[in-house]
Structure 1
Amino acid sequence: MSSLDTIVRLPGLTLKNPVLTASGTFGYGLEFARYGNLADLGGIVVKGLSLKPRQGNPMPRIAETPCGMLNAIGIQNIGVEAFLRDKLPFLPWRETAVIANLYACDAHEFGELAAVLASVEGMTALEVNVSCPNVKEGGVAFGQNPGQIRAVTEEVKRNAGSKPVIVKLSPNVTDIADAARAAVDGGADMLSCINTLMGMAVDIRTRKPRLANVYGGLSGPAIKPVALRCVHQVCRAVSVPVIGVGGIASAEDILDFILVGAHAVQVGTANFMRPDAAFRMASELPALMEKLGIDGLDDFRGSLRA
Structure 2
Amino acid sequence: MSAFDLGPVMVAAGCGGTGRELAAYCGPDGLDGLDLVTRSITLDARAGGPGPRIEEVPGGLVNAVGLPNPGLEHFLATELPWLVRAGARVIVSIAGATMGEYADLARRLSRAPGVAGLEVNVGAPDEVGVGLFEVREPYHSASVIAAVRREFPVDRPVLAKLRPDVSRIVEGARSCHEAGATAVVVGNAVPAAFTDGRSGGLSGPAVAPVALRCVTEVHRALPELPVIGCGGVHDVRSANAYLDAGATSVQVGTALLHDPTTVARLRAHFATPRHVSTQEDR
Whether the TM-score (by the shorter chain) exceeds 0.5 is: yes
Residue 94 and residue 62 in structure 1: after superposition, are their counterparts in 2 closer, same or farther (change >3 A)? closer
Question: 1:291: how far off?
Answer: 4.8
1:24 is aligned to 14
Whether the 8 Å contact between 2:165 and 2:214 is mirrored in structure 1 is: no
Q: What is the Cα-based RMSD across aligned positions, in Å? A: 2.4
Question: 1:140: how far off?
Answer: 7.3
Residue 40 and residue 121 in structure 1: after superposition, are their counterparts in 2 closer, same or farther (change >3 A)? closer
After superposition, give the CA deviation of every residue in 1:41-69 in whole Å (9 maximum; x if it has no partner): 54000101001100111111111000100
Letter in 2 for 1:84: L
Which has the higher mean CA deviation after the structures are superposed, 263-272 or 229-238? Answer: 229-238
After superposition, give the CA deviation of every residue in 1:228-271 in whole Å (9 maximum; x if it has no partner): 11111111222221111000000222211111111111000000
SS at match of 1:183: helix
1:221 is aligned to 205
2:23 is aligned to 33
Structure 1 gap segments, 5+ residues each? 1-9, 203-207, 295-306
2:264 is aligned to 279
Structure 2 gap segments, 5+ residues each? none
Question: 1:173: how far off?
Answer: 6.4
2:227 maps to which of 242, 255, 259: 242
1:187 aligns with 2:176: no
Question: 1:292: how far off?
Answer: 2.9
1:196 is aligned to 189
Residue 276 and residue 198 in structure 1: after superposition, are their counterparts in 2 closer, same or farther (change >3 A)? same
After superposition, give the CA deviation of every residue in 1:116-137 in whole Å (9 maximum; x if it has no partner): 10121210000000024676xx
CA distance in 1, matches of 2:3, 2:86: 15
1:169 is aligned to 162
2:73 is aligned to 81
1:108 aligns with 2:93: no
Residue 226 and residue 41 in structure 1: after superposition, are their counterparts in 2 closer, same or farther (change >3 A)? farther
Whether the 8 Å contact between 2:191 and 2:201 is mirrored in structure 1 is: yes
Question: 1:172: how far off?
Answer: 4.0
1:50 aligns with 2:42: yes
2:122 is aligned to 130
CA distance in 1, matches of 2:4, 2:227: 14
CA distance in 2, matches of 1:93, 1:263: 27
CA distance in 1, matches of 2:3, 2:13: 20
The structure having more radius of gyration, on CA atoms, is 1
Whether the 8 Å contact between 2:4 and 2:226 is mirrored in structure 1 is: no
Question: 1:88: how far off?
Answer: 1.3
Question: 1:160: how far off?
Answer: 1.0
Question: 1:277: how far off?
Answer: 1.2
2:2 is aligned to 11
Whether the 8 Å contact between 1:170 and 1:194 is mirrored in structure 2 is: yes
2:110 is aligned to 118
CA distance in 2, matches of 1:14, 1:126: 14
Whether the 8 Å contact between 1:13 and 1:124 is mirrored in structure 2 is: no
CA distance in 1, matches of 2:132, 2:39: 22
Residue 12 and residue 292 in structure 1: after superposition, are their counterparts in 2 closer, same or farther (change >3 A)? closer
1:63 is aligned to 55
Whether the 8 Å contact between 2:3 and 2:183 is mirrored in structure 1 is: no
Query: Which of structure 1's runs of 4+ aligned residues deviate more than 6 A?
Result: none
Question: 1:38: how far off?
Answer: 3.5
Using the aligned pairs only, state the percent identity: 35
SS at match of 1:216: strand
Matches within 5 A, 1:250-261: 250-261=235-246
CA distance in 2, matches of 1:198, 1:118: 32
Which has the higher mean CA deviation after the structures are superposed, 21-30 or 125-134? Answer: 125-134
- Normalising by structure 1, we get a TM-score of 0.82
